[in-house]
Every structure is written in C-alpha cells, then in structure tokens.
Chain A
Amino acid sequence: MLTHLAGGWVIDPANGRDETGDIWIRDGRVVEAPPGEARPHTTYDVSGKIVMAGGIDIHSHIAGANVNTARLLMPAYHHAAQQRPDVTPLANAGWTTFATGCLYARMGFTMVVEPAVAPQHALHAHLELADIPIIDKATLSILGNDDFLLGLLRAGESAAAVNDYVAWTLETTRALGIKVVNAGGAMAFKSNLRSFSLDDVVPYYGVTSRQIVKALQRAVRDLRVPHPLHVHCNNLGLAGNAETALATIAAAEDVPLHLAHLQFYGYGKEGERGFSSAAARLAAAVNHAEGLTIDVGQVMFGQTVTISSDVLRQFNARAQAHPKKWVLFEDDANGFGIVPYAYRADDFYNAIQWAVGLELFLLIDDPWRVFFTTDHPNGAPFTTYPEIFALLMDRDARAEWIAKLPPEAMALTTLPAISREYTLSEIATMTRAAPARLLGLADRGHLGVGAVADVAVYENQDDKAAMFRNAALVFKNGELVARNGEVTARRFGRALTVRPERDRSIDRRMRSYCQDRYGISPDLLAVPESAIGRPDPFELVPCAT
C-alpha cells in the first residue's frame, strides 16, 4: 500500500530538509518517490501544513509500579475525566495506560521512554506499556542503589564484572538503557543518612556516589549501549544544588553522560530567601561539555503528583505534600516515593523553577543536546507540552507570563532578558532528530528513505500551542492513527530494547545471589515475551559497533 503526503512543509533536520516536498510511505516505511506515474492508494494533500517525524519523549513516567501507585493515591484527579482543560491537568489526562497513548498520539508523539523501572518491577512496567496504544516505548532500568552493584564495587571487582551485571540487567528487564537515581542515596537513607552528595560515602559499602556514577557510566559505554548513562543527580530540588550538577558535569570527563531534568538542579542561593536561578551558569557548563546531553524537566503551574525513585528526596519533601498524603516504598535498590504537589504561579520558589527550565532551553545553544521534557508528571503533566512549545517559540508569550509572576522571583533569573525564539526546525531537532540519535534509533526521528513511517502533520498556525495540541494527521508505522487531534485507529506499538554481549557466568552468579540474599529465583524477575499478552511486543535495537 502506497501513501502519499503531498506538498507539505517538510521539516526534517536529520536529513537537512526544510522545504516544500512530498513524503511517500509503503509498508510502514518512508520510501523513495516512485518513478513514473505512481498510483498511491491514498493521497493526503498537506500543502501549507508542517510535516515532521513523530515526536520522541525521552523521559516521561508513564508506566510501572510507581506510576500506578500514584494513580491509586490520587483517585480525585481523574474522578471526572470529562474535558476540563485548564483547571485540572491530570483529570484532563484521564490517567490510564489507554489514555496515555491516545493523548501522546494526538500531539504527534510516536515514542515515549519510561525512564525509571526498578529491575524487579520490569514485568509490571512492560505489562502497562503493552496497554499503552499507538506509540512505541522503551524503559530505562535503574541501578546504583542495589546491593549487588554496590557489593561489586565494595569488593573492588573488575570493570568486566560490572559490565556483565549491567548487561544481564538490560537483557533480563528488557530495557533500552540504564538510569542511576541519586547514586547511593537510597541505600544511605536506609542507614539513616538524611542528605547525600557526590562525594559522600554509602555506609558499609564504602563507595561514593561519584564512584557509582562513574562505574555505571563506563559500563554503559564499554557495552556500547547507544544511550549514555542517564543520571538523576544528588540533591534534587535543594537551594544551591547547581554546584552538585556542575560537579557531576565535571566528573563526566569525556565519557558521554545524560543529565535528567536539569531544571531541578538549577538553583543558587542568592537573594533574600537564599533561592535563585543558577540556570545561566549551568547552561554555560553544558555548552562547554561536548559529550553531555540534558533534558529540562520544565515546571508548569497546576496540581500534579511527583513520582520519583529518589526516596531520600521524596521523604524530605513530605512536608510539602499537597494534598497532605504521600507514599514511600523501599525495596532492595531504589524503591520510589510518591508526593502530590501543586505548583503555584504566585509562589516565589515555583516561579523561579518555571523560569529556570525556560532559561535552560533558551541558553543552551545546541538543540541536539537539550531535550524537551517536563519529567512528566513531576514538573507538569505531558499534556502541557503544547503550551511549553509556545513559550519557547514566542518571547511575547513569555513576557505575558513573566508580568504575572512574582517580580522578586523574576529578578533572580535571566529569563526576562532572553529574546531567543525557537524555530520549528529547532523544535523538530529537539523532539525528533536528537532523541532518536541519543537512543541509537537509526530509523526513527527522521523522514529519510527507510525510516519507520512515524509522521506528524500540523496545521501551520500562529497559535503554536493550538498547533501542537492537535496534530492534523498522525501516522504510526504508516497507518493513520489520529486526525485533527482525534484518535482514529488504535494499534499497539512495541517496546525497544538492547541486549549487549556478556559473559554468561554472570547468570549462574545471579542465580545463587538471588537465592542467598532474597530466597527467590531470578526467574521471578524475568519478562518473558509470552507474558506480555500482545503479539511481537519487543524490538531489538543494535548496540554500536
């Protein structure tokens, strides 16, 4: 079946295209324009419309035991799943797996990475992902607070042993990459430490956070996993924590590293309240660190619920819970904490957070290295993306907001002085081309011949939020799945995984370890294909050669 998108404004930065042109699709892939008089099965006249590859979200908490606990904690937020757009964002999201896929698709997103899966909850996460329609998905597995890894480091075992364990985890949990969350911090909290920074030592294990991050960073590189180690730094949310982020950036040296939701680390200690934006310094450091990528974790105002595997941080944030209830789940390794929170436009601290995110977007020069996230739902639900695109593309829209926010907060940021506006090509880079490259997906994030035909078509409008809220047409694997923001066909995508080589002796070792320490078989952690309940649920992404 041949599909023809005719005469659109094709914005495809990966292939250097920004021009009026056609896209041809056959059997789910982008193909060459057929020679002679081609007779497409379907032609869509998209003249005047913007044509991009499907969006890719690299960091959004959409599935798993932690997300599901948040759902169950907050029944009131989807009590009324009716259309109530601007008032209750989570209610608007209608917070289920099924709504998640549809809501992403209507914005033209076709792949989402769930970035925080505890290995023992991998099966649960993949079952939820399997019930998210339309989009492709992937997971990052969390290591760095687990007894086995810390035990390897304590015993001074070889880098090869760490590599084998990381490879074993990736295959067992069917992940696309590895994330570390407050490395050592959750373990230290179990020994009753209440703060934990880069050079603090985990009791008993005798290793620092820095050593854990570097060991995992090296392992991910050595295993040739495309996505570099995904790091949630220490000291999230605290005044003056820009120093922690800067120290982590310095520690990365030349090995690739990804820093997640950097906005939550963009804080200085200036001003009367000892809380200010340090985004300009962070952005300068990012601009200088070639191998570094970051995502923002933009804050938007409204009620949300924070979902984090940083149990130490979540415990310390319990007093700010709104409404006043929270869950802390601790297991071997990270566990998770769920703390509801309301970001308020009239709150000094929240206004600074909002500005820090935008400053990072606008002060980091290279759209290939800064990624578009709200750390859904931690900074804001992903349903706020259209409004954020508008803020990035329109300095007047920002000025309107800045005028409404506490002036004493805005005075402690550089945002009012920034005039940059993102171009559509930069938006396409940040949300399509760059994520695909970061995750090692050669056939996604672009519209070149051979690419998976994930395509988003937008009405070219001055109101950028309206434009990105309801894509005119969305194709997933060449199939039309949404039109004018309405889902028209429901299909199921796949979860993308990597499987680096390893020495299989680690498998025997894990078997006896699980038996000795937990009294269980590691088979209980397995994610068999047949358990997922959908045909062909996984797709293997090759490691770099």
Chain B
Amino acid sequence: MDRAWIDGRPVTLKVAVAEAAKLLSTSRFPVIAGLGADVAGTRAAIALAERLGAAVDHMHSEVLLRSLDVMREAGVMVTTVSEARARADYLLLVGPDATTACAELPQLLVGRAGPEAGGGLRHVGWICPGRGALGAFGEGLQPRTIGRDPTELPVLLAALRARIAGRPIGKTRTPKKVIDALAADLAAARFGVAIWSATDLGPLETEMLHGMVVDLNVKTRFSSLPIGSADNALGVLQVCGWMTGFPMRTAFGRSLPEHDPWRFDTARLVEAGEVDCAIWISAYGAAAPEWTAVVPVIALTATDAPMQRTGRVAIEVGRPGTDHDAVEYAEAVGALTWRAAARPSHAVSVAQVLAEIATALPTGA
C-alpha cells in the first residue's frame, strides 16, 4: 500500500502528489535537497528542477565538493579499490576512518598483491590513525604509524611531502627521523596507494596529499583512493555532471544551469529565506534535513519515522537496490553499476513519485 501523509495525516499517494504539485507550482524558488537517490531518481529530480527553476543539492555536498574542489583547482591521481587490490604493494592510510569509511574495503584489500605486482605481502603506513584500527584486512600486517592525534595531520603531511621532495623541514612534534623513515617507505613502494576517508580531511590536507602522490610519481608509481560515498553522492554527482555540466549546488533559476557552492547550499538557502519550498529526498534511509528554519517540505524518505511529523507532505519510497532495481555508484568497482532488487516490493521509487509530481503540475509551471 502507498504510505503518504499530509501534515501527519495518512492520505493516498495521489492526494499527496497533488498537494506536492500545488506547493511547488506556487513556489517562487524551490530546492531539491537531500537527493539520496539512485540514477533514475536523480535524473527525474534534475528534470523537475529545470522545469521548476529549482536548485539541486545533496546532503553530502559539503564533503563531496571539498574533494571536487581539489580536483578542479589542482588535479588528482586516483585509482579504484579493485586496482589497489591487484596492484598495490604499499597502502598509505591517512586519518582514523581510512579503514572504515567503505564497508567492503577490508575484505577487498586483505591478502597479497597480485602476481603482476610481485605477489608479496602489502606494506602499510598509517598517518594519524587516532583510534582507528586495521581490522579484518590488517591480519599479518605491521603498519608503520606516525602521529596519532588527527590535528597533527596537516603538519605531518606537509613535512612528509617536503622530505619526499628532499627539502628541509622545521621542528615537528613527530621526530624528523620517523618522518624520513616513512618517506623512504613511500619512495620504495612499487605501486603505492594512499587511502583516506573524504570526511577526515580538509581541503588543504587533501590537496597536500594529492600533491605528494604526484611528487612520488616522478620516480615511482603511486595513486590515491579517497573513499566514502554515502547516499549515492558520487552517483548523483555523475548524473548532475552529464545533465547540467556541473556538480550539485546547481540551480535553474535563470533557466540555464548555474553552479555556486555557496549560494545554492540548501541550509543557507533555507536559513536565509531564499527558498520557499523544499523537496527532501532520502531513499537510502531517513536522514532528516539539518536546517531549522521553517519551510514547507515535501519529504520522500525510505521510512516514515522522522519525516511524517515535520514534512508538509511525506511519501514513503522504496530503497534503491532493495525494493527496486537501481543504478548507483559502487565503490568496489569505482563506477556506476546495476543492482537488482534484493527484496522486490511495490514501494514507489523516487523516480516514479517525481514523475507523478511533474505530471500533476499545471502546464507552464
């Protein structure tokens, strides 16, 4: 059965969709936020945003744009979990969440490098592990750890990069000979891979790390593997890229897509009163928006629990890859992949609901 609510009262899907269309058609500037959706849902969301002149954002834009800004300002060298599994004779972990941000990672990286990479046990270095643990894939591995407190990370990375390039460094909390030993390990790697969670690192640390990887490639081979794409953020990024030319935080207010990470940040748009209606999508769960200001919300979430009370209109949608077939970003492959429904159900998909809302909009809206 459809599960939909208006102001917390159960209604049919049709009634909820009609109410959503009414809210949107009278809105001067809506935002489509959250956007925890599969590829089909994202395509529908962007098509609707174009029609409404709305802004498009994702709940993890902050972290994602931090990584993306490093790419589009400086460039990156990256690889995939699969290739790290086959090739890497050295793994450089950075920050406490480096082993936990991707659930499949430990299983994928356990064991030895492939025969074309010598087949040896991998060597592991870990900068600022904090309370992080190697866990399953660390069996038999003896990581060389340096630093502990993640606040040390910026200085350590800078010092390490300097030593790799043979430049002198000033005084650091971690002794120079420890930094030099790690620098020597990295230079001795045949194909090293730096792994970190995008949430752990700020923009400058990320850029420093990428720069270090590029420097290492002057003599040997090294790449990087930033991990942690929740709520299909990287899949949504790809769809935004091909449909609008830009990442999320892009809006159609002036009909052409305009991208502005500050201006089209949903929290800012809502708090500043610039938008007067929001579609909140969280099909992989039931994340709630972070903003506090009041704005009419049309919520499409995987469970009714948190949103039915706060959303003006709430519609329960199926989970991509669980209730219905879906295309989404798979970290293990580093690509958009097809996932058949694990437990097919009749729950409506984000794409279906958004298409129905679009159909219910008055012509010209």
Within 8 A of A (CB), among B320-334: 325, 327, 330, 332-334
Within 8 A of B (CB), among A116-168: 120-121, 123-124, 127-128, 131, 147
The answer on a CB contact under 8 Å between A530 and B330 is no
A325 with B75, Cβ < 8 A, contacts A190-B87, A190-B221, A331-B334 known? yes
The answer on a CB contact under 8 Å between A528 and B244 is no
From A75, A127, A192, A533, B246 is in contact (CB under 8 Å) with A75
The answer on a CB contact under 8 Å between A147 and B220 is no
CA gap between A335 and B247 in the complex, in Å: 22
How many residue pairs at the A-B interface have CB separations less than 8 Å?
A: 163
CA gap between A319 and B245 in the complex, in Å: 26
Q: Inside 8 A of B327's CB, which chain A residues have their CB?
A: 123, 127, 531
The answer on a CB contact under 8 Å between A524 and B338 is yes
From B86, B190, B335, A124 is in contact (CB under 8 Å) with B335
Name the CB-closest residue of B to A205: B116
- Give me the 5 closest cross-chain CB pairs, A-B, nearest first: A325-B75, A204-B116, A124-B336, A326-B75, A518-B82
Q: Inside 8 A of A520's CB, which chain B residues have their CB?
A: 82, 332-333
B106 nearest CB across to chain A (Å)? 11
A71 nearest CB across to chain B (Å)? 5
Within 8 A of A (CB), among B217-245: 217, 220-221, 223, 237-239, 241-245
From B116, B247, B333, A524 is in contact (CB under 8 Å) with B333
**Majority-rule SS of B interface residues:** mixed
What is the total number of residues of chain B having a CB less than 8 Å from a CB of chain A?
55
Within 8 A of A (CB), among B257-315: 257, 259
The answer on a CB contact under 8 Å between A528 and B338 is yes
Name the CB-closest residue of A to B238: A68
From A94, A205, A327, A332, B82 is in contact (CB under 8 Å) with A332
A207 nearest CB across to chain B (Å)? 12
What is the total number of residues of chain A having a CB less than 8 Å from a CB of chain B?
60
Q: Inside 8 A of A492's CB, which chain B residues have their CB?
A: none
Within 8 A of B (CB), among A54-93: 63, 65, 67-68, 71-75, 78-79, 81-82
* Segment with Cβ contacts to A, from B14-22, B65-73, B91-99, B176-184: B65-73
The answer on a CB contact under 8 Å between A68 and B241 is yes
A275 at the interface (CB under 8 A from B): no
CA gap between A447 and B358 in the complex, in Å: 40
The answer on a CB contact under 8 Å between B191 and A190 is yes
B170 at the interface (CB under 8 A from A): no
The answer on a CB contact under 8 Å between B243 and A96 is yes
A104 at the interface (CB under 8 A from B): no
Q: Inside 8 A of A65's CB, which chain B residues have their CB?
A: 238, 335-336
The answer on a CB contact under 8 Å between B223 and A330 is yes
The answer on a CB contact under 8 Å between A517 and B72 is no
The answer on a CB contact under 8 Å between A327 and B244 is no
- Pick the most buried of B72, B238, B335: most chain A CB atoms within 10 A of its CB: B335
Name the CB-closest residue of A to B82: A518
